[in-house]
Structure 1
């Protein structure tokens, strides 16, 4: 190659490099973290092809659910957002009541409601996705990720299964001198208070089950630390967006406090308070249709590796014999015959929620309400319509 040709060849390479760099820059300008986010684990929509339900199957089920709803949610004063599906096919839906009484807005299928502690299922799912990708280990100590966490014996698995022994932040901040109740508490504040106020555990790690919101507030911080995103961004990137959950979001206090669907007790709207900025344990708003997409994805064989998926659905609280137990982010009932039932309920302010997942029968039952009622939890009575479970129905009472 002559000297002149070598110079020409070098110029061509330089022009090509500049063009490539500009192209990459143009692509990344659309989202500052687009490239980084592609490295995060993301849930995939279910690709399972279920058999189509016949009208002969659907009609009696639909009529039975309708009778149930007419008893427990008989008029517009009983706000409800309810869905029953099998094989991913919606059998019955009901949406009624006030989304915002002052503005005259009614609850519809796309109205996001606060799902309260059902949020824990989503937080656990994000943690499990990170574990599946090898970003964390379930038996890893929390303080290896959050160095300021002052309890060296507590693991991520302890948080997921409510066996950490941590005290509930909702209670200890009420104690004199711990927190100014005029100030809004955050997840980081909860973590800081452990050391600043010398908050002790209720019991040593992994000695007993104690359902505690603090566990999932800490898991939200772990998600943030590992991903480098805020919890709302991480949940959107890893779960909501890839599943097409277009009406689901994490409540951010300053951003959403004026627009989020309020909750009620009777006809009285319940005001937000100092605990409403803590997320992970609560503060996801969603719809039954979006949660159905999530449930189908969680029950798909491609969700997690087999070993990790099995760990979700085993009971971790066996120090006392009984039917009630807790897995990794899911409540469960275990009967002596080996049959198991998985669900999660929630309550926050006037919001109540129930999520029932019946993977063996491919059935999903979801009920949400923003007007306080325990009738939301009565959807368990629908379970015997789809499987041989020893729950009482209205016909049994």
Structure 2
């Protein structure tokens, strides 16, 4: 083989390698809507965020956060995890107390804690990724996916924004034994079957007003299962947890792990036992850590999260039938001030578990607190917002 032929072959091989690399890169960057119909959309991590915080900024900001922490949880009274980050870079982080008071298992950065209703933000995220991928229509009727569902006017958007008019499953399964025997553990499918067969009336007419209701998110979890053909646990893992490296986050496998996870406690450290509602997921039952939730929050800032038109709808208020600043979007709470400043957050409370998740979107700040011993101090995190931006909260206000 002469040198000219050898050079031509080498050039051809090089071209093949370049084209192969470009093809692989293109596959990585496919939009959700371009995915094959049987492929799941996946969250993409946001990495290498800039600008990098200076040592001076970190020191000054850390002092302010530490003053809040000592006032909010005096004498190191927090039993959980607390984290504040900017541009994905952790400024302040603290873990205190016990995951289990019986065996004195300490809470660390890798201890999963029940995040209660902050789970709704993650459930909504999975639904929104499926909407983005054209697997679900935001204004589709729920009956398209759940044939047993008895309320024909309810849409996916209404479930996400708590405008379905449904009653809480905790109420209609609690008071009447002909509806449900509380000796049996309730499941999401049980809730759907009960509503479809026991003539459970609506609390108010569909679409007329906002009414926060866990039943909405229990139904969204079933829709995720129907569309993905996976369990909610596995679908959440494939769409969110695994792609983002959330290695200490999972949906509770009730039958397998209910006695292995961190229990919850009253404020006086009395353990709160398991009850018949603890198997329902979508509205709750995700366990996570502040560090994992930071990964999740930053991924929601990725340009690959949602197309702009859909993203705008997520942060639009849907509970404005009465004038006021408080509002609810698609899986996120908000406060909208007259000056145009918006504050987004979601809190959680289940048994003794309390949680708070605050993304200060304008400032690229993430604030998270999780606790397995009941305390309302978890909900005071909003007092930190004025440290980072022009939020009309006063740090010293209750």
Question: Which TM-score applies when normalising by structure 1?
Answer: 0.89
What is the distance in 1 between the residues matched to 2:37 and 2:175? 41
Of 329, 333, 336, the match for 1:334:
336
What is the distance in 2 between the residues matched to 1:71 and 1:339? 27
Q: State whether residues 48 and 300 of structure 1, in contact with CA within 8 Å, keep that contact through their aligned partners in structure 2.
A: no
Give the match for residue 352 of structure 1: 354
Give the match for residue 27 of structure 1: none
Give the match for residue 7 of structure 1: none
Give the match for residue 55 of structure 1: 55
Shift of 1:47: 3.8
Give the match for residue 368 of structure 1: 370
Secondary structure of residue in 1 paired with 2:370: strand
Q: State whether residues 49 and 88 of structure 2, in contact with CA within 8 Å, keep that contact through their aligned partners in structure 1.
A: no
Give the match for residue 89 of structure 2: 89
Deviation track 1:285-329 (CA, whole Å, cap 9, x = no partner) reads 000000000000001222111111111000011110000000000
Shift of 1:48: 5.6
Shift of 1:392: 1.6
* Gap change, CA 1:76 and 1:255, over 3 Å in 2: farther
Give the match for residue 237 of structure 1: 238
Shift of 1:80: 2.5
What is the distance in 1 between the residues matched to 2:49 and 2:365? 14
What is the distance in 2 between the residues matched to 1:171 and 1:64? 43
Give the match for residue 119 of structure 1: 119
Q: State whether residues 187 and 279 of structure 1, in contact with CA within 8 Å, keep that contact through their aligned partners in structure 2.
A: yes
Shift of 1:227: 0.3
Give the match for residue 42 of structure 1: 42
What is the distance in 2 between the residues matched to 1:52 and 1:275? 45
Deviation track 1:6-43 (CA, whole Å, cap 9, x = no partner) reads xxxxxxxxxxxxxxxxxxxxxxxxxxxxxx99711110
Shift of 1:45: 0.6
Secondary structure of residue in 1 paired with 2:274: coil
Q: State whether residues 73 and 80 of structure 1, in contact with CA within 8 Å, keep that contact through their aligned partners in structure 2.
A: no
User: How is 1:285-300 mapped onto 2 (pairs within 5 angstroms)?
Assistant: 285-300=287-302
Which aligned segments of 4 or more residues in structure 1 are displaced greater than 2 angstroms?
A: 74-78
Give the match for residue 104 of structure 1: 104
Give the match for residue 173 of structure 1: 173
Give the match for residue 225 of structure 2: 224
Secondary structure of residue in 2 paired with 1:75: helix
Q: State whether residues 83 and 288 of structure 1, in contact with CA within 8 Å, keep that contact through their aligned partners in structure 2.
A: yes
Of 369, 380, 383, the match for 1:381:
383
What is the distance in 2 between the residues matched to 1:51 and 1:254? 46
Q: State whether residues 37 and 237 of structure 1, in contact with CA within 8 Å, keep that contact through their aligned partners in structure 2.
A: no
* Gap change, CA 1:37 and 1:105, over 3 Å in 2: farther
1:283 and 2:288 matched: no
User: How is 1:106-185 mapped onto 2 (pairs within 5 angstroms)?
Assistant: 106-176=106-176, 177-185=178-186
What is the distance in 1 between the residues matched to 2:75 and 2:244? 33
What is the distance in 1 between the residues matched to 2:109 and 2:196? 44
Q: State whether residues 169 and 191 of structure 2, in contact with CA within 8 Å, keep that contact through their aligned partners in structure 1.
A: yes
What is the distance in 1 between the residues matched to 2:76 and 2:261? 20
- The alignment of Structure 1 onto Structure 2 pairs a total of residues equal to 361
Shift of 1:195: 2.1
What is the distance in 1 between the residues matched to 2:261 and 2:166? 30
What is the distance in 2 between the residues matched to 1:58 and 1:309? 31
Structure 2 alignment gaps of length 5 or more:
1-35
Shift of 1:205: 1.3
Give the match for residue 10 of structure 2: none
